[in-house]
Structure formats: structure tokens, C-alpha cells
Structure 1
Amino acid sequence: MISITNLSYYLGSRALYENASMHIKPGQKIGLIGLNGTGKSTLLRLIIGEYQSDGGIISKAGDVTIGFLNQDLLSYQTDDSILSVAMQAFERENQLQKQIDALLHEMEVNYRDVLVDKLARAQDEFAALDGYTIQSKAEEILEGLGFTTEDLHKPLRQFSGGWRMRVMLAKLLLQKPSLLMLDEPTNHLDLPSIQWVEKYIQNYEGAVIVVSHDREFLDNVVDTIVEVSGAKLHYYGGNYSYYVEEKALRNEIQQGAYENQQAKIRQTERFIERFKAKATKAKQAQSRVKMLEKMELVDAVIDENARVNFRFNFSTQPGRHILHLDDVSKSYDDKKILTHSTARLERGDHVALIGANGKGKSTLLRIIAGTEPTTKGERRLGHNVSFSFYAQHQLESLNVEDNMLEELKSANPTKSEAELRTVLGCFLFTGDDVFKKIKVLSGGEKSRVALAKVLLSQANFLLLDEPTNHLDMQSVNILIQALEQYEGTYVIVSHDRYFVSRIANKIWYIEDEQVKEYPGTYDEYEWWTEERKSKGGDGKAAGVPAPTVAKATPPSPKPATNDDERKELQRALKKATQQADDFEQKIANLEQQKKQLEAELATPAVVSDGKKLKAKTTDYQRLKTQLDTIQEQWEGAMLEAEELEKKLA
């Protein structure tokens, strides 16, 4: 269908592609992946002919049609309704409809046989193209992408960039090109819409190339991965999970070949050095010199899985209770978001707030942050709670005249330049990159700087709104590692299922104008949701706890009624108090050991020695797990003592 042979394309002296080749077959579903800046979007623009290559051939079959969804479409605006814009996909059908309407109008005043013949031919072609169903098809796709029936007749201009992008996607899907090219289509979709698009692409008859950082999406829709790396296009026959396994195997084989070749080169060089001056061996030495010159070198494997080696600490430990929302109500005109809703957060909660767009997820984050006006009800932060809030619009608050180091320094003046460089290195900024001004950065680079600022803020409570938008897979992986190391509490809005499954221990969603909590991981929540649907929505899925209104206040305990019962309660109270004291002493000892290990992990002697670093890191993780366990036991003993005191009161 499309053949790319020996493609070369240069940006100045840098080769984005050099003798790269690939073939796109009919019906093939390709996931195009690679680090930011490797040229994924450029390849799509080369295929469509928007860019001209510096070498090679891109040949297309004569009947190939291409539809291209890209971020430039965000700027498109018109006063036409979104239904009209989507129906622009039916170009020939619309021409015929106008022709039929004009003929009918003319026949009202000038009835002629020739007009009847024209009308009959136009109506036959219109019917053959299934023209009488085009509106229902457009409505079905728009509603599948999250629009309500009332939205369909509103002007496109009234919608935000993300929603306009959905209209452009609907238009492309209705055109049904033989090759559909989608550049980061999930960036502006909520979870139900992503799942709808997945099903549509799975059943799509044409070929698809999709650029995406959403691993779950790629796993569900593609049958081939093409990786852009080293100015070449590398094929992997399978979905993203298969690619991860196959890539690791290929890297292992390549690294083995590289090491064997390097050993052979060293051995040959030693032979040359030893015998080049001896007359009897000079010819053999010269032969080996020529052999080395002709040798095709195997490249060393570059580890693209960057790892975070910086601890994002906070100086103030909060109390057990992080946040109380009581009797909170919020509405926009007639649209109710929350009605008398309650929510609780405790220290260590890692919450993913999920659901369809328009349900109020970002509004809830702003309510938690205290920045949402005209909200009824009570919001209380716990003792020593300090929070930091990341949202896409806050990229605008970056000082565009600062360089990256200066911007991070403003977030945490206590950090040295070396420490700030380490943080920027975690977010893939190295060398002189750190001196780039914010104004020259791409959207994804600004997102990484803003995220680094949030993590440097030393806040013990984070609010993150769609932090993975515009991040490539390596950057998402870095963020996951940072959050796994983060010891505070956070609430994160995200539609990236892989990301959510890695970082959340609780799920929040808004239903019936209430904040609902599912007390488990995202995978468990998905399973529970499917069970709930299969049982008619009653929520009674065996083995998995049902969600509740987030953390309702438990009923007060009943007081003791007689002397024997009081004595028993006093003994139990004494035991619980003693246990709490014992646990507290153990916590103090472990905290001291933890500080000592942290100091050792920061020393050059450990950092530069891989074995020592691995051993110390293992000890640190073991100690941290032990400390978490004992802290939970301490809290349990304290709660038990508190309940017993209430009964004795």
C-alpha cells in the first residue's frame, strides 16, 4: 500500500532518518514509538507529503487515501455546528444533496423531463452511497467521542481545543481513508472515549498508524510496533507488551555481540602492537590492521530506560488526616457537579481520580486546593499539610525568561546547582540543556520542568491534573518512579490506564454528584466495574469491596455499662497504650537508621560503586517497608486506644 525505501531526512546536520525503510500493508495497525525529538510526527508529515525528504523514495498505491489527525487541528474554528463539521467528511454525498435540493426547487416552477432524469440519477447515486444515513453515522461517532445530543448543534467555536480535536477525529473516522494516521489521539480524550476509539480502530478495515504514549491503548489496538531509534525504523511484530519483551531480548543479544566484538578488537590490537615491528610477523600484523578497518562495528546498547536516583523529600511530616471535605456542593448555573458530598484523605493515600470529561474532576482538584470560587460546604486541611498543585494551565505561570536551573531554584532555593542538575537529569535534561530559557521549550519540555518544580516544592500533599499529557513513554516512566519513591499523599487526575495502575492505591470517581471511593488498585476497580455491569449495576462483585462515599465518619462507640466491662476495657486500654508506646520506640529507632542509610547513599564512595549502591538500596527499601508496617501497627494501636477511651468516658 505504502513503501518507504532508504528514507533520509536532516534537520541541519542532524539526521532524523538515514536510509530508513518500512512498508505499510492494507489493514495493518502500527504503533509508532520513540523518544521525543526522534521524528515520529515528522515521519507522518513526510508520508502525507507535507515535508520533502532529503533522500529515498516514498511510493503509494494509486487508490490510497490518507487521513491525518495532528495537533495543528486544535486551532481550527468555525461557527458551523459540530455535526455540520463532522459531516463535511461526506464530500460527494453533500454535493449530491445540494444538487437534489436545487433540482427539486427548480422543478417546483419549471417541471421538465430532463430535470426528472437528472433528479433520478442523483437520487440513485445518493442512495448507492448510503447518503440517507450519513447524519445518523455522524451523530453516532460524535456521541461515542463524548458529545451529548444537545452538543451536536452548537457551533464548533464554543468548544475548547480538546473538544474541537474530537470533532476533527470524528470527521476523519467518517471519511474512512485507507490509511488513518493519528498523532497522540488520546491526549484530549477521557477514558470512556479512549475505550470507544479502541473498539472502533480494532474493527477499522483500513490501515492505521498511531503515535501514542498510552501503553494500554497501543496494547489494545496495534499489531505491529515500529520504533524510531538511531535514525532507523525498527520493526516488532506484535503489540507494545510484545515489543518490551522482544526489545529486551534483542538488546541482550546485541550487547553480547558488542562485548564479544570489543574483546576480539582488543586482542587483535594487542597482537598488532606486539608484532608490528618484527619482520617475521609484520605481514600478519598488517593483515589484522586491514581486518579492523573493514570490520562492521556492532553498536553498544543504549539504556533508554532512565531511572530516577534522586529522592523527593519533604521536611514537615503531616498528621494522619490530610483532608476533610464535608457537605460540599458545587454547580455551574444549572449544571450540578457535587451535591452535599463528603470525602476524606489520610496520610499515604495515593488516589487516582478518573471518569468521563465534564464530571467535575478538575473542579474537585480546585476545590481541594481551595482555588474554586463559590463552593458550598467545608474544606479542612490536616495538621502540617502543605500542598503543591500541577495543572496544564499552570505551564503559563513559568517565567519564560528564566532558564531551567533558575526556574527550579525558585521552587526550592535550598538546593545546590548540582542537586538541581540531578533533578533535571531525571527529567531528561542534560548538559547545556539546563541553560535553555523556558520560552524556547516545547510543550512536553515545559510539562517536565513544571513537574520537576512540583516535586521539588517539598510539599507533602500533591495535586496533579493530567500530568502525563505531552510526555513520552520514558518521561512517563520517570514520573512513575518519582511517585513510587514519594512518601507523601497525592490525588492525580489521569486517563492513562497504565500510569494509573502503577501509582494508585485508591480510586475516586464522581457519580450521582457524589465523590465515590473504590478502596483498591485500578486493575481491581476495572474488574469490579465489569462485574458490576454483568450483575446489572448493583455493585455486588464477589471478593472485591464495593465503593463508598469517600470515608464517611464512623458511628460513635457505645459507652461501657457495668464494672466488669469497665475493668476489661481498662485492661485492654493499658495493653493498647503499651503497644503504641513500644511501636513508637521502634519507629524512632528505624527513623534513625533510615537517616543514616540516606546519608550513606549520598556519599561518593557508595554512589560510584555499583555493588555497594545496590546493597544499600536493598537495605533501604527493606527498612522503609519495615517502617511502614510498624507505623500502620502504631496507628492501629492508637486508634484502638482512642476507641477504648471513648467507651470508658
Structure 2
Amino acid sequence: MIKVDKLSFSFPQKELYNNVSFTIEEAQHCAFIGTSGSGKSTLIDILMDPERYLYDGKLEIDPDCTIGYVSQFSELDKTKETTVFEYIAERFIQLENEIQSICAEMETSSDIEPLLEKYQFALEALDAMGGDDYESIIHKQLNLANLMKRRDTKVADLSGGEFKLIQVMKEMLNRPDLLIMDEPDVFLDFENLNALKKLINSHKGMLLVVTHNRYLLNHCFNKMIHLENTEIQEFDGRYIEYNFSLLQTKIELQEIAVAEQEEIERNETIINNLRVIATYNSEASRGRALKARVRFQERLEARRIKAPFVAIKQPNISLGIENEMEDATVVTVNHYSAAFDELLLDNVSFEIKSTDKVAIIGANGTGKTTLLRDIFNNNHPSIEINADVKVAYLSQMQGEMLNDSNTILEEFIDAGFNTYDEVRSYVSSYGFEGEIVNQKIASLSGGEKNVLQLAKVSASKANVLLLDEPTSHLDTYTQIALEKAIEDYKGAIIMISHDFYSVVNGMDYVLIIEDKTIRKMSKRKFRQMIYASHFDKDYLEAEQNKKAVEMKIELALKDTNFELAKGLVDELEELIKRL
């Protein structure tokens, strides 16, 4: 068991945790969730290397506990000649070689006792990893992830998504007591995401996974650890049940808060009346009554409900547009080809209308980003952009569109804002308030950087948006806010995405890459394709119905119509049972 007890930690500019406590027990698969920038990755760093940090509280980890780790930023070493099998089996092969070396040494050594001890230790380590039959175990994992065909491929020749899966397999097969994965799903295509789901669900040990991916959250975990506003709460159960519990709590707390506010306002009226009376009646009893009422008011304010997990501030994403174009072709791609080491796309043609919302879908490494970047740069002979078009681009390589050495304020001054006050006012609606606007962009989390890119895209007022994996690193609250902004946007959107929900909820159709070419696919056909591989029948429709009821509850709460909200909760509960 891993136990964190009343841990507090802060950076000079930001408090991250205030007396947080949680446990991870044997066989638990924990999803670690929370809004971008709340400190999830830092807490993982503390768990893995507590000696590096000065924190208050206790961290109880058995000294013999082994921790495996899969980073959200994995770099593929193109120089290595190692095959996929050799990469995954590295630790097994090391132990086998060590055992053979010790055996060879024992044949010639006169002092055999220390060698026997080393031999026994190496055997036990290999046995603990299931090393007697490691080749069969690796084959089973490769088959599970549909990667057996890549067994003898050089690691350097894998796509980024395939390499991420291979990393996950390697760490799982090393059998650490706790395996920590930080956003392992980022940039995975549909097939690789499904493979990751299977790997997670097949793992027998303790897992702590930072993820915002709704597909994984709904299908992989039996415990939630939620970090928000310096506090943590634990929930034993599925993500969908946790969200339902949060919504129920929100209704209860808001109903109490409204009643308390009414009581505070009544008391404020009495205090004001007593103050008026005290101006012409100086009796001591009047003064005592006034003081008593003021103290009562202070007590009311002190016990006002504070709910960090149900009062999460969703960013207000609004994709502005300056020049709406009606019924025009904005992008024409004609006989386009692209190559990178090998031919990626060949003789591709399509056109985008002024209000089309289009997802480009394809496996990792099929040329989606290359195509989008060529449209943005507008210097390719096969691509024509309408003269009235203004294009804005969000890159999955965040350093392309953000200057890491800038502060947030400087970044928006460079983008054309006139004053720091204007920037502060604008970025506050995206969740950047207070001292964070003076931080260097390099210090922000991946999710915060993507929100910052969305803020820049929106400020551009462009009428064609090119969005390359816009939901990557975004917390679920921001993903939903982005879906709403896309729905309301009046221009054209070309979006690369591996997020089922964003495609189905926001796009008109998809352009799917297969066999080095692109074909248009209706959203209905795309749904059918996804269902065949990933979901039970009508799952996404049921998810949409659930989301619609949740929106009705939010509107009822805005109107303080608690009876309606409670009735809708019963309806929501029935929908959740079907998911």
C-alpha cells in the first residue's frame, strides 16, 4: 500500500497541496484527475523521488516498493538498432546474461559462496518477473495490443503511438509494485488507444494513471483520485459514478448555499437597521445588540459552504470570427502528395466549405500533421486558400505557436494586444488569473499551454481554424467547453483528433486516411466504424443523452430550481445504468 498523509507543498508563486491524503492499495487501478495546472505531475515526481522535495506531511512507501513510470513525453531514439522484442525483454535478457556470467565465473572461482548468493538473487529477480516463460508473456502482450506483427521491427521505425504502447508493455512486464503513467493516451490513434485500454485492464498490479481521456476514464479504472484547488478526494468506483456523485453533491450544496445566502441577507438588513437606530439612540443595549448581530453574521460567513470539487471553474472558450463567409470554398487541395522518409499521402484531393467542421482521421504517422501544416503555411502548389480567408493554427507541438521564454502577458502583447490590462482581462476567462500571468510559458503544464493556444486562436478572429489534437492534455471540463465553442463557431474547422467524443459531438463529417489517400466519410458511417471496434451499440448516443440531461441540470441550478434539478437527476441515473 502507498499512503500519503496530510501532505502540503508549494512553489514560491503557487500553493499546490494543502494537507492532502490518499492511499493506493493492491490491485487498485486509480485514475488521477484534476484541472490543468493543479499539480498532478509534480505529485507524481514527489512519489517517485521524495528526497528531491521539501514538503510537510508523511509519505509512507515500503523501502522495497518498486515503482515503474511511463512519461507523457517519450522520445524515440532513432539511432538504436534494438528490435521491439529486445526492447521489451531488456530486463529479462540482462538477468539471463547475468545468470550465465555468474555460472561461468563459478566454474573457475575458488570462492563460490558470494557467487552463489548473487546467483540466487538473480534467479529470484527473474522469477518475480515471470522470467521462466518471458517470451510467451511478451507475445501475449503484443497480441493483446495487436502489435505482434511489429515483434522484429526496429524500435526506431515505430510510430510515436506504437512506441508509447511498447513502453507501457515494458514497464508492465517488469512487474513493479506500482506503475505510474502520466497521460499515456496523448496523441494515440483509435486503434492504439483501444490497445492501451486492453493493456490497462489486463494489468494485475497497482496503477496510478494521469488521464483526461473520457474513453479510458469510463472503461479502465476502479478508483478516482481527484486533485483540485489544493485538495484531494478519493472515490472508490467508476468515473461515470463519480461524476454522478459530484452532481448530486453540487445540487445539495447549492441548495444549502442559497438558503445560507438568504439568511445572511436577512441578517445584513437587521444589522443595517440597528446601525441606523444607534445613530440616534445611544443606549448600551442597542450597541450590544448590534455587536451580537455582527458576530452572528461573521459566523454565518465562516461556515458558508466551500466545495472545491463541485465549484470547478470551466474556461469560457469563445472561438471568435471577424469575417463570416457564406457558401464559399475556403480551402482546395488538389492532387496533393507528401513524403517523410517514405510516401505518406499520394494524389489527395478535397475541398472545404466556409462552414464545414471536418475531422481528419488516420493512424499515427500517416501524414495528418504534415497536411495541416502545409495548409497553414499556404506555400504548397497543390493547396489553394481563398483570398478572404484568415487562418489560425493550433499545433500539437506547442513550441511552434508559443514562445516558451515569454510570460503569458508578453505572449499576448506579441500577438497584438495593446496593454497588459487588456491581456489580463482577456486571459482571465481562460483561467489565467493573478500571478500566473507573469509566469514563463515554459513553466506551464501541457494542458495550460493548449488552453493558451486556444485563447490565441480565438483572439485572432480567424474564419478558418486548423486544430491539431486540440484536446490533448486538456482536462475534461475544458474539453467539454471546447466542444461547445466548436458547436457555436460560424467558420470552418479542420481538426486532427483521436478523441471519439470531440469528433462525434462537433464535426460534420470526417476525412479518413487509408492506403496513402483520403476519402470522405459521413459521421453516421464513422460512428458505425467506431462501434465495430470500440463501443457497445448506441454508446455514444447514450453519452450524448447523458450530457444533454447534465446541461438541463446545470440550467436548473442557474435558475435555483432545485426541484427540477432533483427530478432530472433521477432521469440521469437511469441513463447511467445503461452505460
Code of the residue aligned with 1:470 in structure 2: it is H
Q: 1:381 to 1:38 in 2, by over 3 A?
A: closer
1:391 is aligned, of 362, 372, 395, to 395
Code of the residue aligned with 1:353 in structure 2: it is I
The CA deviation at 1:350 is: 0.9
Aligned counterparts of 1:447 and 1:186: Cα–Cα separation in 2: 16
Aligned counterparts of 2:472 and 2:534: Cα–Cα separation in 1: 30
Q: How big is each residue's C-alpha offset from its partner over 1:535-580, in whole Å with a ceiling of 9 and x where there is no partner?
A: xxxxxx99xxxxxxxxxxxxxxxxxxxxxxxxxxxxxxxxxxxxxx
* Kept after mapping to 1: 8 A contact 2:395/2:401: no
Residue 641 of structure 1 corresponds to which residue in structure 2? none
Identify unmatched segments of 5+ residues in structure 2: 539-557, 560-579
The CA deviation at 1:75 is: 8.8
Q: 1:483 to 1:294 in 2, by over 3 A?
A: closer
Say whether residues 1:252 and 2:260 are aligned partners.
Answer: no
Q: 1:347 to 1:144 in 2, by over 3 A?
A: farther
Say whether residues 1:341 and 2:348 are aligned partners.
Answer: yes
Q: 1:408 to 1:339 in 2, by over 3 A?
A: same
Aligned counterparts of 1:503 and 1:43: Cα–Cα separation in 2: 34
2:314 is aligned, of 306, 318, 325, to 306
Q: How big is each residue's C-alpha offset from its partner over 1:570-594, in whole Å with a ceiling of 9 and x where there is no partner?
A: xxxxxxxxxxxxxxxxxxxxxxxxx
The CA deviation at 1:185 is: 1.1
Aligned counterparts of 1:71 and 1:463: Cα–Cα separation in 2: 24
Residue 16 of structure 1 corresponds to which residue in structure 2? 16
Aligned counterparts of 2:529 and 2:73: Cα–Cα separation in 1: 39
SS class of match (1:209): strand
| 1:347-496 matches, cutoff 5 A | 347-369=354-376, 378-382=382-386, 384-393=388-397, 395-399=399-403, 403-405=407-409, 407-408=411-412, 410-411=414-415, 421-431=424-434, 433-434=436-437, 436=439, 438=441, 441-496=444-499
Q: 1:365 to 1:147 in 2, by over 3 A?
A: farther
Code of the residue aligned with 1:4 in structure 2: it is V
Residue 55 of structure 2 corresponds to which residue in structure 1? 54
Q: 1:322 to 1:315 in 2, by over 3 A?
A: closer
The CA deviation at 1:383 is: 6.2
Residue 634 of structure 1 corresponds to which residue in structure 2? none
The CA deviation at 1:357 is: 0.5
Say whether residues 1:84 and 2:90 are aligned partners.
Answer: no
What RMSD, in angstroms, separates the aligned Cα atoms of the two structures?
Answer: 4.5
Q: 1:435 to 1:21 in 2, by over 3 A?
A: closer
Say whether residues 1:214 and 2:213 are aligned partners.
Answer: yes
Q: How big is each residue's C-alpha offset from its partner over 1:199-229, in whole Å with a ceiling of 9 and x where there is no partner?
A: 2212322222211121222111122222212
* Kept after mapping to 1: 8 A contact 2:129/2:174: no
SS class of match (1:186): coil
Aligned counterparts of 2:420 and 2:98: Cα–Cα separation in 1: 67
Code of the residue aligned with 1:68 in structure 2: it is Y
Residue 28 of structure 2 corresponds to which residue in structure 1? 28
The CA deviation at 1:518 is: 1.6
| 1:195-344 matches, cutoff 5 A | 195-265=194-264, 274=274, 297-300=303-306, 303-308=311-316, 310=318, 312-315=320-323, 317=325, 319-333=327-341, 335-344=342-351
Aligned counterparts of 2:490 and 2:354: Cα–Cα separation in 1: 9
The CA deviation at 1:161 is: 7.3
Larger Rg: 1
* Kept after mapping to 1: 8 A contact 2:221/2:238: yes
SS class of match (1:189): coil
Q: 1:77 to 1:472 in 2, by over 3 A?
A: farther
Code of the residue aligned with 2:89 in structure 1: it is M
The CA deviation at 1:134 is: 2.0
Aligned counterparts of 1:134 and 1:144: Cα–Cα separation in 2: 15
Identify unmatched segments of 5+ residues in structure 1: 535-540, 543-609, 612-649
Equivalent pairs: percent with the same residue?
A: 26
Aligned counterparts of 1:289 and 1:386: Cα–Cα separation in 2: 58
Q: 1:139 to 1:387 in 2, by over 3 A?
A: farther
* Kept after mapping to 2: 8 A contact 1:3/1:60: yes
Aligned counterparts of 2:42 and 2:122: Cα–Cα separation in 1: 43
Aligned counterparts of 1:437 and 1:252: Cα–Cα separation in 2: 38
The CA deviation at 1:385 is: 3.5
User: How many pairs were matched up?
Assistant: 523
Q: How big is each residue's C-alpha offset from its partner over 1:160-209, in whole Å with a ceiling of 9 and x where there is no partner?
A: 87766544323211123332221111124222111111122123222222
Q: How big is each residue's C-alpha offset from its partner over 1:24-60, in whole Å with a ceiling of 9 and x where there is no partner?
A: 2322222221222322223223333435563332324
Which of structures 1 and 2 has the larger relative contact order (alpha carbons within 8 angstroms, sep 6+)?
Answer: 2
Aligned counterparts of 1:65 and 1:128: Cα–Cα separation in 2: 12
Code of the residue aligned with 1:29 in structure 2: it is H
Q: 1:131 to 1:406 in 2, by over 3 A?
A: closer
SS class of match (2:363): coil
Residue 513 of structure 1 corresponds to which residue in structure 2? 516
The CA deviation at 1:394 is: 5.9
1:498 is aligned, of 483, 501, 515, to 501
Q: 1:408 to 1:144 in 2, by over 3 A?
A: farther
Aligned counterparts of 1:360 and 1:517: Cα–Cα separation in 2: 16
SS class of match (2:320): coil
Aligned counterparts of 1:62 and 1:105: Cα–Cα separation in 2: 31
Q: 1:165 to 1:76 in 2, by over 3 A?
A: farther
Aligned counterparts of 1:200 and 1:331: Cα–Cα separation in 2: 32
Give me the TM-score of the superposition, normalised by structure 2: 0.74
The CA deviation at 1:487 is: 0.9
The CA deviation at 1:352 is: 1.3
